[in-house]
Chain A
Amino acid sequence: SQQGEEDPQALSIQEGENATMNCSYKTSINNLQWYRQNSGRGLVHLILIRSNEREKHSGRLRVTLDTSKKSSSLLITASRAADTASYFCATDASTAGGYQKVTFGTGTKLQVIP
C-alpha cells in the first residue's frame, strides 16, 4: 500500500522557475525522505528530514515537514533542465514488529523546459 500521496502528479515549468511538490501521509513517522528517479534509472536519495525538524535545506532544495498536518513539501529553486525527473517522498515509520518500514508515495513527474 502507498503511504504517501503526492501532488501534483505532473508539473511542467520553465527553466529558472521554482518547483514545489507536496506529499501527504497517514501514520506517525520517524522521518521523511525525498528521492529522485530519472527515466529508466534507480532512485537517488535527495534529503531526509526527521520528525522533530520543520525545515531543511540542501543546495537548491528546501524541504518542510508539518507533522500535525502529516504533510511535507519539496521546493526546487532556480530549476534546470537536468532536474527533469520523477520525485518521490518516502516515509520511515516504526512497526509493531520493531523494525523501520520505508513506504513510497505515488510520485510527481517534473518536466523543466529549457
Chain B
Amino acid sequence: EAGVAQSPRYKIIEKRQSVAFWCNPISGHATLYWYQQILGQGPKLLIQFQNNGVVDDSQLPKDRFSAERLKGVDSTLKIQPAKLEDSAVYLCASSSIGQGHEAFFGQGTRLTVV
C-alpha cells in the first residue's frame, strides 16, 4: 500500500511571498488532515476534510491560509502572504472514516520563511 505523499520536502521563501504544498492521501481514505508542527511542539490541526468537504478549519488562519481538496482526493494548502512565524513542518495525514482508524502521515514539508 502506497503511503501519503507530500511535496515539496523543503521550501525556503521570503516573508510576504506565497507558497503551496501538495498532498496525495492513501487511496480510499475519505478523511484528510493538514497539521502545522512548529519546532519542539506537537502537531496542530489546521484543517480537516471529509471527502471534498471541510469539517473543521477552526484553527486555520483564514486571512492567509487556504486549502482545497479536489474531487475528494489530492489536496493543496496555500499560504499567501507568508510570515516569519509560519516557519514549521506541514504534515498531511489521511484515514478511513469512523472510530478506531489510525491516521497515516506523510513525511511533511519543512517551510522556512526568512
User: A-side interface residues toward B, CB under 8 Å?
Assistant: 1-2, 4, 30-31, 33, 35, 40-45, 48, 50, 88, 90, 92, 94-95, 97, 99-107
Q: How far is the CA of A48 from the CA of B95 in the complex (A)?
A: 14
In the complex, the number of residue pairs spanning A and B with C-beta atoms less than 8 Å apart equals 71
Closest to B59 in A: A1
Q: Are B99 and A92 in contact (CB under 8 A)?
A: yes
Residues in A neighbouring B100, C-beta threshold 8 A: 30-31, 48, 50, 92
User: B-side interface residues toward A, CB under 8 Å?
Assistant: 4, 31, 33, 35, 41-45, 48, 50, 55-56, 59, 91, 93, 95, 97-108, 110
Residues in A neighbouring B104, C-beta threshold 8 A: 45
Q: How far is the CA of A37 from the CA of B101 in the complex (A)?
A: 19
> Which of A42, A50, A101 contacts B56 (CB under 8 A)?
A101
Q: Are B56 and A107 in contact (CB under 8 A)?
A: no
Q: Are A42 and B55 in contact (CB under 8 A)?
A: no
- Nearest CB of chain A from residue B48's CB, rounded to whole Å: 7
